[in-house]
Structure formats: structure tokens, C-alpha cells
């Protein structure tokens, strides 16, 4: 145990992230094919453009570009007034053209940042636009192991968010990733559903000696991880694996690896490419894009209230605890539901409404705000101390002899007058139905 502690003190993890977010536009990035590909029959959402057939020309999806810039703005990025698309050249079976239309030196967004709870600023190098690739499916056909290609995903709009190597632990990485996922969901530009591949995670992991401030001369990238749990496992495994290599007097190889959940370890895939290996050059079929200040300002004006701002406002305006505000702002629709309930139920304390939504796990998809308020009102009313209620009723009957006699002589409408008097004595809101039942019972049992 002591040896492990000593080893842990010798190296500091240096971690950067690439996050790929699929946008939920109706059509693909450079053609009119439907981008709603998940679960569809293979190769049914394709055309000459996304299949890379000779002579087919790409036409950029304006909505996807606007959404990419909205993500950049939400991540505090600068928006340059000049941008362009590039060709990223590499051969892989799921890339039909032999190149991917992406961005290299002139992305739509750059120099952003996100702050995490420990106060650290995670710097974002770039947020750029590209097209997704096809998907390899490994199956057995006629007892032969084969790899099949489904090009339905090919050409779907993909935003890549690249950080600087500012993380030092898996915990910091997970917090940042949850923040990014929450932001793109608030913006409603992506479902960010990792099980469906809408959000894919690629950490770059290296180690450096604690007293050394220089970046390591190598990095290990782990590709296409689809859950926070697997990212955490990947990073922790790589830290230990690389420590052992250093302790053996060697330096880890710069390479691309994959996460193998079956064995709980990363698996070597290929040597890690550098930018020059991709032979980037400007996409000749798409002209450069020039923005005006007014166009960028217009996009900024579309920015909604983001999660952190909403969290701060709910705490300040409604006096909520950090815990309650965090739960209520985790999803935008929950925060909207809460504020609508507060607006409609002025007599119910905001803390009570928050507790109901959080602790009773209200299904806001199927529970109308009006029905929730009614349930809270009845529960809140019925929770009054029974002895206080009976004492107030007894006093009202004693002090209002004429009204009591009128009621007993058949003038039943006077019951509302008596209920009002009980309410004023209690100085609290109580459900009138419950009050009426209790009062009628007391009147029947009273003398006279």
C-alpha cells in the first residue's frame, strides 16, 4: 500500500478531450438525406453525396453551422469572421470518399473555456464542424466473420469540441463532460444520447513528472467511448498502465487505443497520427465562409439561459438550496415545469413545490402542472395539526351562535361563513373540502 502511494506522487496525469456531438438536424451535413438514421434499415438513408460517388457536390447545412456556433458561444468561444472547410484525408472502410469534410486551421469557434467546481478553468481550443462517418458492423454471415458497412450515419452533422490538456483526473473529466452534455441538451441541438452514439468521447492521456511543467512528448488517445463510466475506467487504467511503463525505464508509445470492457483494459489499435498525416487542404467544393458582425450578433441574441445561469437565478430568486437548484436545473424541462408551478401556485411555498418535484420524482412528461398543484394543496392542507383544527372549530362555533343556529335550521349556505372564520383563526391555508367535513361533523355534535 505504501509503495502505491509513493508511485502516485511521482507523476501528474495530463489529459485532453475530444468530444463529438451529433446534431439533430432533419437532414445531413452536405446533402438532403434524412439524418434520423438510428435503428433504420442499413443503407436506406443514402445518396450520391454521402456515399462519395464521383461528381457529387456537397452543399453545407446552414442550420448545422448555426447550431455549431451556438455551442461555441455557450462554451465562451470567440467566433472568427472567416472560416472554411477542409479535407481530412485518410483511408478507412467507413469513409467512402477516402476523406472527411472537416475543419482544420479556421474553425467556426475557438478559444473558449468552461469552469468546473474546483475553480479550474478548462480551456477549449476549438469547436468545429464536420461530417460523421459510416458505421462498421461486425457479424457472422454463412459462418464467416465479416465486417459490414452501414452508410446511414455517413454525412450526419458532427460537432467536435477539443480542449487543451488541462485535466488532471478522471473526476475533472466527468464533471466537464456532464456540463457539455447538459449545455447541448439545453440548446436543443442534440440529444447527446451516448447509447445511440449522439455523443462520443475521446480522451488523450499522458503522464509527466510532478516537478516538470512541460507537456509530455507523447499522448495516448482512446477512441469512441460511449459512457461516462467507461471514460472514468479508461483514464484510470491508462494512468496505471503508463506508470508501469515509466517504472520499467521506458516511455509509453504514442498510439490510438480502444476500451475493451470485457477485460477492463485498453487495447492497442494503431500508431497515433499527427495533423500532417491527414494531409489537410481546403475543401475545393465549398467556398470559404465570411461572417459579418451583425450575423454573429444575431446568433448571440438567440442564446437561451444556460444551466449555470439558471442554477444561480433559482437559488437567488426562490431561495433554493444548492442541492435543490442543481436537481431542478439538471434538465431544462424540469426547471421550466418548476417555475410554471410556482407561478400558478402563489399560496404554496416554493420549497414545498421543489420538494414534491424532487422527492416524489414527479413524471413531468405526464403530470400537468395544474394537477400537481391540486395534489400539493390537498396534502399540504391535510397535514395541519388535528388538535389545532378542532380547537379553532370549537372557538368559531362558540363565538358565532346565530350562524350555527341558522345552519341547524336549514340555512346550509352559512357554512362558508363559518369556514372563513376557522381559516382566519388558523392563519394557514387548508383545503376547503377537508375543512367542511370537519366543521359539519363538529356542528352535528354540538349542543343546541
223/299 Cα distance (integer angstroms) = 32
**pLDDT score for 1:** 41
pLDDT digits (tens, 9 = 90+) for 232-287: 999 999 999 999 999 999 999 999 999 999 999 999 998 877 777 889 999 999 99
pLDDT band at 385 (very low <50, low <70, confident <90, very high): low
Q: Is 21 helix (H, G, I), strand (E, B) or coil?
A: strand
Provide the pLDDT for residue 430: 67
- For the chain, give the mean pLDDT: 91
Task: Note the pLDDT of residue 365.
Answer: 81
pLDDT score for 291: 96
- pTM for the full predicted model: 0.83
Percent of the chain with pLDDT over 70: 94
Mean pLDDT value across residues 333-345: 93
Q: What is the pLDDT of residues 127-161, one digit of tens each?
A: 999 999 999 998 898 889 999 999 999 999 999 99
Inform me whether the pLDDT recorded for 36 exceeds 80. Answer: yes
CA trace torsion 423, 425, 429, 435 (10° rounding) = -50
User: Strand 281-282 vs strand 86-89: parallel, antiparallel, or unpaired?
Assistant: antiparallel
Q: Is residue 3 predicted with pLDDT exceeding 60? A: no
- Domain locations in the chain as residue ranges: 2-299, 305-382, 386-445
Statement: residue 434 has pLDDT above 70: no
Q: How confident is the model at residue 231 (pLDDT cuts 50, 70, 90)?
A: very high
Residue spans of alpha helices (H) in 248-306: 293-301
C-alpha distance from residue 436 to each of 5, 403, 418, 442 (Å): 70, 15, 9, 10
3 state SS of 123: strand
Q: Tell me the pLDDT tens digit for each residue of 97-110.
A: 999 999 999 999 99
DSSP for 149-210?
EETTSTT-EEEEEEE-S-B-SHHHHHHHHHHHHHHHHHHTS----GGGTSEEEEEEEEEEET
CATH topology of domain 386-445: Arc Repressor Mutant, subunit A (1.10.10)
- Percent pLDDT > 90 in the chain is 71
Predicted confidence (pLDDT) at residue 4 exceeds the cutoff of 70: no
Give me the pLDDT at residue 384, please: 63
Distance CA 248, CA 87 (A): 41
Q: Is 50 exceeded by the pLDDT of residue 389?
A: yes
Contact indicator for 209, 190 with CB cutoff of 8 Å: no
**Is residue 7's pLDDT more than 60?**
no
Better-predicted residue by pLDDT, 382 or 202: 202
Report the pLDDT averaged over residues 302-329. Answer: 95
The residue that leads in pLDDT, 70 or 443, is 70
Is 80 exceeded by the pLDDT of residue 432?
no
Instruction: Give the residue-averaged pLDDT of 377-385.
Output: 64
Gap between the terminal Cα atoms of the chain:
84
Which has more pLDDT, 38 or 378?
A: 38
Q: Check residue 331 and give its pLDDT.
A: 95
Distance of CA 197 to the CA centre of its chain: 14
pLDDT of 8 higher than 60? no
Amino acid at each position: 500500500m505504501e509503495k502505491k502511494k509513493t508511485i502516485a506522487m511521482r507523476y501528474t496525469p495530463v489529459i485532453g478531450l475530444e468530444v463529438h456531438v451529433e446534431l439533430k438536424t432533419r437532414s445531413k451535413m452536405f446533402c438532403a438525406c434524412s439524418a434520423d438514421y438510428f435503428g433504420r434499415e442499413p443503407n436506406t438513408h443514402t445518396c450520391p453525396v454521402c456515399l462519395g460517388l464521383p461528381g457529387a457536390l456537397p452543399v453545407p447545412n446552414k442550420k448545422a453551422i448555426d447550431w455549431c456556433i451556438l455551442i461555441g458561444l455557450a462554451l465562451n468561444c470567440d467566433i472568427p469572421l472567416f472560416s472554411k472547410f477542409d479535407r481530412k484525408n485518410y483511408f478507412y472502410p467507413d469513409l467512402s470518399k477516402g476523406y472527411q469534410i472537416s475543419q482544420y486551421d479556421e474553425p467556426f469557434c475557438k478559444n473558449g473555456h468552461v469552469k468546473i467546481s474546483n475553480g479550474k478553468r478548462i480551456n477549449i481550443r476549438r469547436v468545429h464542424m464536420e461530417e460523421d462517418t459510416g458505421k462498421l458492423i461486425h457479424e457472422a454471415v454463412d459462418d464467416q466473420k465479416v465486417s459490414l458497412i452501414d452508410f446511414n450515419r455517413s454525412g450526419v452533422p458532427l460537432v467536435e469540441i477539443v480542449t487543451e490538456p488541462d485535466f488532471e483526473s478522471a473526476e475533472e473529466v466527468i464533471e466537464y463532460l456532464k456540463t457539455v452534455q447538459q449545455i447541448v441538451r439545453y440548446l436543443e441541438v442534440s440529444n447527446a444520447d451516448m447509447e445511440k452514439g449522439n455523443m462520443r468521447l475521446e480522451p488523450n492521456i499522458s503522464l509527466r513528472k510532478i516537478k516538470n511543467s512541460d507537456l509530455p512528448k507523447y499522448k495516448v488517445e482512446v477512441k469512441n467511448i460511449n459512457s461516462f463510466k467507461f471514460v472514468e475506467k479508461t483514464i484510470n487504467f491508462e494512468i496505471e498502465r503508463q506508470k508501469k511503463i515509466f517504472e520499467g525505464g521506458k516511455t509509453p508509445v504514442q498510439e490510438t487505443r480502444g476500451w475493451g470492457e470485457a477485460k477492463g483494459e485498453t487495447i492497442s489499435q494503431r500508431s497515433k497520427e499527427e495533423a500532417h498525416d491527414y494531409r489537410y487542404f481546403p475543401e475545393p467544393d465549398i467556398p470559404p465562409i465570411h461572417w459579418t458582425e451583425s450575423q454573429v450578433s444575431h446568433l448571440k441574441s438567440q442564446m437561451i439561459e444556460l444551466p449555470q445561469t439558471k442554477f444561480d437565478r433559482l437559488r437567488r430568486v426562490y431561495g433554493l438550496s444548492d442541492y435543490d437548484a442543481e436537481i431542478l436545473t439538471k434538465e431544462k424541462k424540469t426547471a421550466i415545469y418548476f417555475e410554471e408551478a410556482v407561478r400558478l401556485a402563489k399560496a404554496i411555498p416554493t420549497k414545498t413545490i421543489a420538494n414534491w418535484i424532487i422527492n416524489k420524482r414527479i413524471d413531468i412528461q405526464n403530470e400537468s402542472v395544474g394537477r400537481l398543484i391540486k395534489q400539493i394543496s390537498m396534502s399540504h392542507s391535510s397535514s395541519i395539526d388535528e388538535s389545532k383544527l378542532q380547537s379553532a372549530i370549537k372557538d368559531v362555533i362558540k363565538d358565532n351562535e346565530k350562524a350555527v343556529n341558522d345552519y341547524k335550521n336549514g340555512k346550509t349556505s352559512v357554512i362558508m361563513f363559518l369556514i372563513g372564520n376557522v381559516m382566519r383563526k388558523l392563519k394557514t391555508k387548508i383545503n376547503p373540502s377537508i375543512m367542511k367535513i370537519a366543521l359539519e361533523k363538529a356542528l352535528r355534535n354540538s349542543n343546541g
